[in-house]
A and B are shown apart, each in its own frame.
Chain A
Amino acid sequence: MIDDDMKVAAVGIIVLIAVFNVSGYYLANRNVEPFSELGILGPTQKIADYPSSVLTGQNFSLYLYVGNHEGEVSYYQVLTKLGTSANANQSVPLDAPVMTSYGMVLLNNQNVTEPITLSLDHNGTNVRLVFELWIYETNTSSFYFYTSNWLYLNVTGPSI
């Protein structure tokens, strides 16, 4: 009776080790739910201290955060555009000209925080500065829209 219990315990421990070993191999670097991240950080690299008002034509700094959890190396493009509060929609790209674009290739589970400098050329109240994240798709040989974030700004001063 005790002998049988000992046999079961010993074999059970070894089977558990084998299961962890095999599952560890197959689950390594596998993302169950692939996703990407886009974040706009303030000048102090935090989700705070965003500029609310800028001068026309004057440079201001922000940080762009992009994270890759797609389970594979990914090629991203972040496009900046200008919009208004009327056309705010995170699930579709804004139909507006591209101001600047930032490209980056990230390994799986890698992220990057990149400093960016922008300036706005026209006055406006509640100007929506939009950052769109696009991901390159090799099957279609094109970038597809993933998500967007934005920042509302008052642009003051003489128009240049």
Chain B
Amino acid sequence: MNCSKTVGSAAVLIMLIFAMTAFSAPSHAQTSAQSSAQIEKAYAAVLSAEQSGGNVTALVAKLNSAVALMQQADALNATSPTKAQSLYSQASTLAQQVISSAPAVAAAGKVATFDAQASLVVETAVLAALAVLAYLYVPRLFWRYWYRTHRDWRVKKA
């Protein structure tokens, strides 16, 4: 009676350990897919920041580092899974940093776009005002200048 109880407990314990091992340690394929998904999410964030007018050069450089790390991890996955997992995790961290920095870049881009549009409107208004002034005063200014530069001229008899 006591023996069968012990055997039963041992079996449950073994099953528990097996289940924990199977579900707690993520496979490398999962980690690769996770970091790949994170990089794709980061790319979408960068694209959105760029569409808002942000300067995404630094974000793209960081994202390329994440892509390079993921590539290294893919190459090492078969021979050195522990190192590969570490590289996947570094790639995910970099991608996460890109995702969290993108909104600030987008906001700065929106401000820069607004400033550029405002200065374009001001420039166009100044040019329009110049056109009106030119229309009104150019002939007058021209003749005044012409008179000044030709005041010493004498008219000869033909």
Closest to A142 in B: B40
Given the known A-B contacts A104-B64, A138-B47, are A14 and B127 also in contact in the complex, defined by CB atoms under 8 Å? Answer: yes
- In chain A, positions 1-60 with a C-beta closer than 8 Å to chain B are 2-3, 6-7, 10-11, 14-15, 17-18, 21-22, 25
B47: chain A residues at CB < 8 Å are 72-73, 138
Closest to B124 in A: A18
Using a Cβ cutoff of 8 Å, how many contacts connect chains A and B? 72
A107 touches B131 (CB 8 A): no
Give the contacting residue for A22; candidates B57, B74, B124, B142; CB below 8 A: B124
B134 touches A11 (CB 8 A): yes
Q: Produce 1/0 per residue, A125-145, CB < 8 A to B.
A: 000000000001010010000
B142 touches A73 (CB 8 A): no
B57: chain A residues at CB < 8 Å are 107
Q: Produce 1/0 per residue, B10-47, CB < 8 A to A.
A: 00000000000000000000000000000110011011
Contact size class for A? 20 to 34
B46 touches A14 (CB 8 A): no
B106: chain A residues at CB < 8 Å are none
B131: chain A residues at CB < 8 Å are 10-11, 14-15, 18
Q: Is B128 an interface residue (CB 8 A)?
A: yes
Q: Produce 1/0 per residue, A52-75, CB < 8 A to B.
A: 000000000000000000001101
Interface of B is mostly: helix
A136: chain B residues at CB < 8 Å are 40, 43
Q: Is A101 an interface residue (CB 8 A)?
A: yes
A138 touches B60 (CB 8 A): no
B127 touches A21 (CB 8 A): yes
Given the known A-B contacts A21-B127, A103-B70, are A7 and B138 also in contact in the complex, defined by CB atoms under 8 Å? Answer: yes
* Bound Cα distance A136, B124 (Å): 39
Q: Is A105 an interface residue (CB 8 A)?
A: yes
- In chain A, positions 99-120 with a C-beta closer than 8 Å to chain B are 101-107
Top 5 closest pairs, chain A to chain B, by CB = A10-B134, A3-B139, A103-B67, A10-B138, A18-B127
Interface residue ranges, B against A (CB under 8 Å) = 39-40, 43-44, 46-47, 50-51, 56-57, 60, 63-64, 67-68, 70-71, 74, 116, 120, 123-124, 127-128, 130-131, 134-135, 138-139, 142
Please list 21 pairs of residues, one from A and one from B, whose beta carbons are closer than 8 Å in the complex, sorted by A's number: A6-B139, A6-B142, A7-B134, A7-B135, A10-B131, A10-B134, A11-B135, A18-B123, A18-B124, A21-B123, A72-B50, A73-B43, A73-B50, A103-B39, A103-B67, A103-B70, A103-B71, A105-B67, A136-B40, A138-B47, A141-B40
